[in-house]
Structure 1
Amino acid sequence: MWNAVAQVISDTLATPFEITQKQQLSNSSADMLFRISDGQHTFFVKVAPLSALERLECEAQSLSLLTQESLFLVPDCLATDTTLEFAFNIIEWLDFSDPTPPNWAKMGEYLAMMHQKHEQAMFGNEQDNFIGVTAQPNRWHKKWDVFFSEERIGWQMQLLAEKGFHFCDIDTLVDCVKARLHSHNVQPSLLHGDLWRGNVGFVNSVPCLYDPACYYGDREADIAMTRLFGPFPDAFYTAYNAHYPLAHDHRSREGIYNLYHLLNHANIFAGHYLTQARDSIETIIHQQNSGD
């Protein structure tokens, strides 16, 4: 395994690379994460079962897309390759520093600038990819309400149903979400797609993004997720709004957008996420039925 990794790095750098330091990193996923170095060059290596090759390839493609379309510091994926048993990504290692309020403000500014690009006319992406370890369909749609209700909520609900979890009639929820978003005017923006504190960092005060699940959608979906597992500092939101003000009622759609991530966590981890997802669904349907 590690001979193969070292050889891939040597071939890519066109210089010999020998692993002299290897440290396994803790994480909550099934992937194995490592920091490796030869004393001069340091890399982050993500190791997964061979069946996960497509997922790792999609991660590399999303990283490249963020690099092309934003000012964020995004780690380069040096290579994606396989052994007989494993697939692996070799990614640039970044040393993170503790952020200050001005750093978070710059994060908000950079995200606003990325979201302000509306060069893509449709919602979705050129290919399907993954959110965590879950497949994420990205078929192109002209209408945001159709895309999000079907490709996001309906898809996750169907995956849960296949595992024996039935919260409500799937079509009822899809129609409810579609109705809630129907009159919401959206221009497609490139989204990180999995924007929580665990996927952002700062290198010498420069904002950094990683572990993306990119697609073109409503920028509010990215903003909503920044609040799901503990909000970003106020400086982030203040700077974002200064550069690209959000609609006055954007918080009214936050629960709908974050339901997608709750459903995904329910699919991956089950446990209390199943209860959170069920409660969120009941709230959304109640609000729709009561006209709130």
Structure 2
Amino acid sequence: MRDQVRAAVAEITGREPSDVRQLGGGDTAAAFAVRLNDGATVFAKTAPETMPGAIAAEAASLAWLAEPGTVAVPAVYGHNDRWLVTEHISTAAASPQAADRLGRELAALHAAGAPAFGAAPPGGPAEAWIGLAPMRNEPSEQWPSWYARYRIEPYLRRAVDAGTLSHEGSAVISRVCEEIDDLAGPAEPPARLHGDLWSGNVHWGEQRAWLIDPAAHGGHRETDLAMLHLFGCPHLDRILAAYQEVSPLAEGWRHRIGLHQLFPLLVHTVLFGSGYAAQAVAAARSALRAR
């Protein structure tokens, strides 16, 4: 594998690698820190052959998130069908100051907007990925119906078909889809989302937090924030407070966290089994109670 890494990095960057070190981490790809002969270090990753278009989707996502100059994302040095080479970011402890900065930057990123709900990044494929799961980017003018059709229902069907979600649980989630216009809160314009903003995709650097492994698309800004709540994030209260200073959230947003967590919880149910199904049903019940 290291020979493949060296060859890919040399082809993409035009610079010769001198050392390759495999990194731990994500579920979807093999990742490496690659030291070049000129002393610089880059990050290289490859996606499985079972995920066509995943590298192109991530490269387009990173470029789109970088375009407004708000959040920190690794610079893309290049890619081909199998390999992505980006800036390598050193790791540091999460600090309150970096969390404050992230909240402000995330608010500015969302405000940069998107052409539509479900819009893919420029140059990104409609058939994209979130982790190991396929994710279709289909533009729509209305968030509630789009979220139900393209984010909840595809994974709900797969979970039921696989037997990881009971018919009783499915009925609760289906009810959310039926009543989503009443559950969605005030209408908002499409936000520019990271799209997979769980804590593992917040990389804490020396002075700020960097966003990595995006599944970017146009969506509702509360979805990114609900993802931060899902598995916990260092200094989350500070991130949210700084966000609200820049771009206050609509009244009742905390009651809608369960609604926005339905998508990632169903993805986890499909990928990792019935252990997440109960959480998905609980999130659906929370959404229904919040009216």
TM-score tier by shorter-chain length is: 0.7 to 0.9
Q: 1:91 to 1:274 in 2, by over 3 A?
A: same
Residue 192 of structure 1 pairs with residue 180 of structure 2 = no
**Residue identity (%):** 26
1:216 pairs with one of 212, 215, 218: 218
Looking at structure 2, the residues matched to 66 and 34 of structure 1 have their Cα atoms a distance apart, in angstroms, of 23
Aligned to 2:119: 125
- 8 Å CA contact 1:108–1:239 kept in 2: the answer is yes
Alignment of 1:55-204 (within 5 A): 55-81=54-80, 87-118=82-113, 120-126=114-120, 127-164=126-163, 165-166=165-166, 167-169=169-171, 171-181=174-184, 184-204=186-206
TM score, norm. by length of structure 2: 0.87
Mark the CA change 1:18 to 1:102 in structure 2 (over 3 Å): closer, same or farther.
closer
Residues 156 and 170 in structure 2, CA contact (< 8 A), matched pair in contact too: no
Q: Does the CA-based 8 Å contact 2:31-2:45 persist in structure 1? A: yes
Instruction: Name structure 1 gaps, 5 residues minimum.
Output: none
1:138 CA drift (Å): 1.5
SS at match of 1:145: helix
Q: What's the CA shift for 1:109?
A: 0.5
- Cα 1:121–1:66 change in 2 (3 A) is closer
Judged with a 3 Å threshold, the aligned counterparts in structure 2 of structure 1 residues 105 and 70 are, in CA distance, closer, same or farther, namely same
Gaps of at least 5 residues in structure 2 are 121-125
Deviation string 1:56-91 (CA, Å, 9 cap, x unpaired) is 221111011111134222112333335xxxx33222
Instruction: Indicate whether 1:245 and 2:239 are aligned.
Output: no
What residue is the counterpart of 2:207 in the other structure?
Answer: 205
Helix, strand or coil for the counterpart of 2:67?
A: helix
* Deviates most, 5-14 or 48-57: 5-14
1 or 2 for the larger relative contact order (CA 8 Å, sep ≥6)?
Answer: 2
2:271 pairs with 1:264: no
Count matched residues.
280
Between the aligned partners of 2:208 and 2:175, the Cα distance in structure 1 is 44
TM-score under structure 1 normalisation? Answer: 0.86
Aligned counterpart in structure 1 of residue 257 of structure 2, from 254, 258, 266: 254
1:190 deviates by 0.2
Cα distance in 2 between the residues matched to 1:43 and 1:135: 27
Equivalent-residue separation in structure 1 for 2:282 and 2:241 (angstroms): 30
